[in-house]
Amino acid sequence: MSKGIAPVRGMNDVLPGQMAGWQLLERVTRELFSAYGYEEMRMPVVEHTELFKRSIGEYTDIVEKEMYTFTDIGGDSLTLRPEATAGLLRAAISNGMLRGARLKLWTAGPMFRHEKPQKGRYRQFHQIDLEALGFPGPDIDAELIALTARLWKRLGITRVRLQLNSLGTPAARAAYREKLVAYFQQHESSLDVDSKRRLGGNPLRILDSKNPDMRSLIADAPSLPDYLDEESKAHFAQLRASLDACGIEYQVNPRLVRGLDYYSRTVFEWTTDALGAQDAICSGGRYDGLVGLLGGESTPGIGCALGMERVVELLGAVPPAAGPQVYVIVAGESAERKALELAETLRDSPQAPSVHVNLGGGSIKTQFRRADQSGATLALILGEAEIERGVVAVKPLRAEGVQSEIPLAEAAVRLAGLLNS
């Protein structure tokens, strides 16, 4: 091991050999989102700390213990974004994009949470995030879920399962919350430390507990669907009917509350049994009150985020991108300039083949080895002798065939012919 400066714990480099899966995911999502009418936008990775406290909620794991918060030189409290929704809404409000508009937006990039690093759980990780603003649903809810289902299909990911729930209106949640508090207060001695703390601040979050010792207590707790308001029930029934019509399978999970405070009505989560403990790959929900809470005009919204590291892991081995079409072997130092010139001429031509030039010299044998490793279809060999005669030698690398010569002046057209044959 060479010495050097260590990377930050829980933050990963993605090396060239690992990029194929990332690129596949990025390409497929970009195409699919555009086909569903979603537009890309990008926001800063740093926001005012207040934004996350207000939107995600004080009594969430993220705000309580996972945020990278610091005071900058100007004295402002800033935070590295732990998720994308808050920043995207902040941007929609501060750029005056709402004003009764209906927006379908997506963004992607790194997020930061100070969690315990383990497989599938990192301190810098990447999300792709979709948000639809100005649609009260449930049609958009169904379409968004259908989009995610189609994404798994396009990526060839099959071992996934969709869980669905409705949290109702804030009023219905408040009524449920009272029942829940009363229940957990009766059993306060059986609560773990986290749950005790949440009991005062955000008791619904106790349902989200990952502690196995809490499981049976949670199983017997009052059930949210019993407290749903009529309108939310109708919204949920319509969503389910649309999903049925689209042939999308799901399970209703009354205990699914999601970790963030801002959700109302629809919440959903895609999980997989192929990744071990870190099984959530995409989750989201409706947040009709959030834009108002952040100081924008009241606008309904729904969104979801997928964890890129986990999805890339699910993709498994993805074949790397194809090598160049042409590799130029430079026979002797005196041919270097002409080789670069030839490569630029080829790149200028209408066919614009992908060309790698052997740089830094090397024996002909070494250069042929590099040409082979590059994955190129054809090798061009250019030396003093060829230059004098105004030709360049061509040798197929992937198919049987003998070395031949083509005139330098016709190289682009002749190569195009050979590459297409």
Residues making contact with ligand ATP (CB under 6 A): 83, 113, 115, 120-122, 125, 127, 259, 278, 280-283, 305, 307, 309-310
Task: Extract the tokens encoding 340.
Answer: 């670069």
Q: What is the CA radius of gyration of the chain?
A: 28
Minimum Å distance from CB 253 to ligand ATP? 14
Determine the Cα–Cα distance for residues 228 and 242; give it in Å rounded to an integer.
20
C-alpha to C-alpha distances, 46 to 43, 80, 82, 88, 292, nearest whole angstrom: 9, 5, 10, 12, 22
**CB nearest ligand ATP: which residue?**
307
Enclosing H/E stretch for 271: strand 266-272
Minimum Å distance from CB 213 to ligand ATP? 18
Determine the Cα–Cα distance for residues 318 and 312; give it in Å rounded to an integer.
9
Determine the Cα–Cα distance for residues 29 and 34; give it in Å rounded to an integer.
8
Minimum Å distance from CB 154 to ligand ATP? 18
Q: CA nearest 152: which of 374, 304, 326? A: 304
By C-beta, is 130 or 224 nearer to ligand ATP?
A: 130
By C-beta, is 83 or 131 nearer to ligand ATP?
A: 83
Minimum Å distance from CB 123 to ligand ATP? 7
Minimum Å distance from CB 308 to ligand ATP? 8
Residue that is written with structure tokens 């999300």 in the block:
127
Minimum Å distance from CB 73 to ligand ATP? 28
By C-beta, is 278 or 351 nearer to ligand ATP?
A: 278
DSSP 379: E
CA atoms within 13 A on the CB side of 162: 25
Kind of pairing, strands 355-357 and 160-166? unpaired
By C-beta, is 34 or 118 nearer to ligand ATP?
A: 118
By C-beta, is 115 or 372 nearer to ligand ATP?
A: 115
- Dihedral angle of Cα 210, 216, 222, 225, to the nearest 10 degrees: 60
Minimum Å distance from CB 206 to ligand ATP? 15
Alpha carbon 199 to its chain's center = 33
By C-beta, is 276 or 361 nearer to ligand ATP?
A: 276
Q: CA nearest 172: which of 221, 237, 224? A: 224
Determine the Cα–Cα distance for residues 420 and 402; give it in Å rounded to an integer.
17
By C-beta, is 259 or 289 nearer to ligand ATP?
A: 259
Determine the Cα–Cα distance for residues 155 and 31; give it in Å rounded to an integer.
12
Instruction: Find residue 244's DSSP bridge partners.
Output: none
Minimum Å distance from CB 39 to ligand ATP? 21
By C-beta, is 58 or 297 nearer to ligand ATP?
A: 58
